[in-house]
Every structure is written in structure tokens, then in C-alpha cells.
Structure 1
């Protein structure tokens, strides 16, 4: 994987089952701050604004990386060295009667007065700023920040959600809840699900689609998806060597026991069959892992009831081979 025409550092090397919280595809329009509130301009450069606990935010560099499949994505650079600056807030963020401006500073919401010093409902005239400032006065809870619902408390030092209600004509916090996360920075691995306020891990089961032109490691190979994997010469060679070794070992083992060419051929066939089984297990290990409990129970039952029979059958086969050698 490469980023900005350079090899991505070790922290960006994704293993099988990993994913990255990228926010754009090949569409360059997503870089437009008007289309993505997280993308802002700082010193004439597009950066990613990430709110963090404690009423602050980090401005992070944006990297462009290209996957092996050829797709291009953009994502915030999560390394500490990529933090351009720590600011008060991300533009557009709201907290009580304040809103974050384009200068990354919390500011009381204001609007110009009408007919002298008159202001609209919910605003009061300030003699200092000579503007109508949004107040915390109210008649209904719906006029308060969040409208009576839990909202992110950007001023808290720990991940917190607060609920504002209208009490005695003022919007006040009536309840606070400490949650697992309110921003992605609260999650060491993965991202924050703002609906549940829980961290979603950056690891998960990855599916593979045969025919998409990508030979997904661990899921697809030249046998179960030749359309995707047949173009990979190294993959073809490794698979051929895999089957050749198993077949050769089976043929050699059976010939060593029976000293007969026919049994050597049978050994080759058995070796190929074993190789197919091993290959299937390697490819479908996720399915086997998910069903490990049932498979384990079933396997235990089979071994418990039929283990002796299996051993007897193996013994009979060995005896037959021995008799054939004596003849």
C-alpha cells in the first residue's frame, strides 16, 4: 500500500480483516469543505478536523493512499506527528448558546439587531458587542440546545453527553451521562458510533466477491475463484507446489509401505485428496471459526462413538498392505 507516492508507515499496514475509517473514494468533490463538514481549510490547506474530549479539536493532515486493487482513498493521518494544531473546536460545532466559527474558536451565537436594539425571540441585545446574542433563556425545552435530547458535551474532560431542559425560564443541564466515546479520538482502535456512543473495532470479518478482479488473501485462490486469482503467477506456483508436495508425499508413503506401483498411484490420489481438504480448511477457516462450537461438539461425538471403529479400519488397511507385501 502506498500513500502520497510513498510507502505507508508500519502503523498503516492493514492485516487481513482490518479496515480503515476512510471518508472518500475516487470522487475529488468530497474534498470540498461544503460537502464534508470535517474537511476544513487551515492556512490554505485542506485538513481534517477531529473533535477530542475536553472541548478541543485536532487539525490533522489528509493522506491519499492507493490499495493493491487500484482504488484511491483519502483518510486522516492518525499519527501524532500529523497533528497540525490543537484548536478549541471544529467549525460549525454547537454547544449551549455557542457555535464554533471558521477561526476554530467558540463564540456566542449572534445576529444583527432590528429596529435599534430589538432582537428576535431567543436573543438578547448586548451593549458590549452591540449585537443580539443567543441566550439560555427559554419558555420551552425545545428551545434549548439539543431540544431535550442528549447531546455531546464538548466542554467535559471525559466523554460525556448532556441533556438540557427549560427550568424556570433558563436552559440548564438536568442530566449527564459518561459514555464510552463521543469522538473518534476516544477510541484507541476503530471509530466512535455516535448512535450508541460505543467504540467500533477496526477489525472484522471481510467478505470476498469472486469476479471483482481482486484475489482476496485467505478467502480466494486459483481453485475456488480462478477468475480473480489465475492472473497471479506467484499464487499459481504456490498452489501447484502445494498439491505436488502432498501428492508426492502420499505416493512415496504408500510405495514405502507396499512396495507396489499401484499403491504408489493410490497414494498420489490420496495425497491430492488430503491437499484439497487442507486447502478448503485454509480458505474457509473463518466459517469454521464461526461454527467452531457446533463443529467441535460434532467432532467430539464422532470421535467418541466412532473413534474406535476408525482406528480398527486403519489397522485392517495396514494389515492388508502387509499381507500383500508378504505375497
Structure 2
């Protein structure tokens, strides 16, 4: 690995270190970095850009920006692998930090949003915080980003009902659809992984992100381990974030990977019988959406080891899978 850019003073304590994993994200990154200072007014913040072997001009995206370091991994390590590379560099070279913010490069942070998240994560018995996601140009339009721990009944509920019956019982949906929940601060099982602020103490206690997921479900796994370590993840509605989406690439293969990794995550914590029922429930969701290429590919990959081996995470496959079709945005 190699690093470039302006290194902060290793002896300087900062309030937050933002780890931003990039993969051909040079066009998105400046917009995020432009919003970072206003997102944490009066606080000491630095950014560590971890580049997963991009082919674009990532150097231009950080040129002339103080407090921004570029770390090249030399390979596409996946999202969790890139985060771990950043965490290792943070512990070894950059010096102490109060919190770590995991940020997707295609974000725009509203003023004071990061400050709200840092404050919430640092509360006693907390440990992490997630924001409200709003539509660009329409702050009244909240994106449903909160999730519940996956279960077979929740997968079935989402497969059969989709966005219908927003107020249905929690055991019938992994997604939190009810708009009233997004106006109230409180703990969440987990949330979409585009933004997560975690205290340095909690980060050290939980340890590395699980790199076996490569992309998708790594945030579900990390959030579960946060909760098992006695921390809570606080949802903060006043912390607003605009997410463009598709920063990890898009396409049918990534849709399939998302569904396969949901089953792999469930299998990590449950026995064979429960996992078999869960996989059948996920399969039903794909069958009900079979007209979409990504769901057809997911259906095949859920039941074929050969098809799973062709999904992103294998050498060269992510580049081939990343397309510009917005239907399959993360």
C-alpha cells in the first residue's frame, strides 16, 4: 500500500477521522470533501481516502486539500477490506481520534450533520450513530434507511408486501417503512452502510469488518457485533445527509451479490435449518420480481455455486459488473 497527500500531525488529537473508500469515485469525492468542514463546525476533522485500485484520477480529487490523506491499497479489497486498510493506517500512522466516520464518496453532508452524529455516538452506552438520508433538492423527502435484524418472517413480509402497509408489525419487515420513525431519535438495529460514525473505543472493541462479504451485508454484520459488544447505534434525524447512490457501482451482478450475501450473513449466525428457510424466503422475493435482470441473476446465484463464484468479489469481476443502470443502485 502507498499513501499520498498532506499528512496531519501524528501527535494531533482530532474529533473525527473520516474513512472514505473509493472505487472509480473521483467525480463524486470533491463534493463530499467540500461539505466536510461545515458538517463539523469548530471540530478537528481529517479525511483518509482509501482507494481500491481505481482507474480514474483520484489524485486530482484531493489536490490542495489540507488534512486529506490518500491511501492506495493496490487492489480492489472490497468495501470492508478498504475500511480495514484505513483503520490499520489510522492506528499506525495518523494519531489519535475521538471517532471514526465511515463515509461513501457519493455523499453530501448537511451543515452540522457530522457534529450531531459525533455527539450521539459519544453518549454513555452508545458507541455509534447514523443519520437521516434525504433526497437531493428535497429535504422533506426522507429515504427509508433504517433496518431491523434479518429474519425469515421479515424477508417474507418484504417479499410479499414491498412498500405497502408502512405501519405493519416489525416482525413482518426488515425495512423500517413508517415515516414517523424517521422523525424520532433512538436506537436502531442497523442502517444502510453509507454513513456510520463510531467511537474509537467502540471501533477497537468490535475489531475488523468482515472482509468475506466484499460488498453488502458487511454493515449488517458490523452493527450486530456492535450491539453484541454492548453498544447502541443511535439514529439522529437532525443529522441530514444527501446520498447520490451507486457509488459502489451498479448492475445485475451487484443486485445478485446483495441477495446472496443476505443469506451468507444469516448463515453466519444461524443453523442449517433456519438458514434453509431464510434462503427460501429470499428466493420468493426474487421470483416475485423475476422480470428484472438483477433478480433473475440473484435467483440463479442463490441455488448455484458456479453462479455465485461468478459474482463480484472474484478477481476482475467488479469492474465487469459496474454499469450505469440506476434501477440497480445500492
Q: Structure 1 length normalisation: TM-score?
A: 0.23
* Higher relative helix content: 2
Tell me which structure has the larger Cα radius of gyration.
1
TM-score of the aligned structures, taking structure 2 as reference length: 0.23
Flag the structure with more relative contact order, 1 or 2, with Cα contacts below 8 A and sequence separation at least 6.
Answer: 2
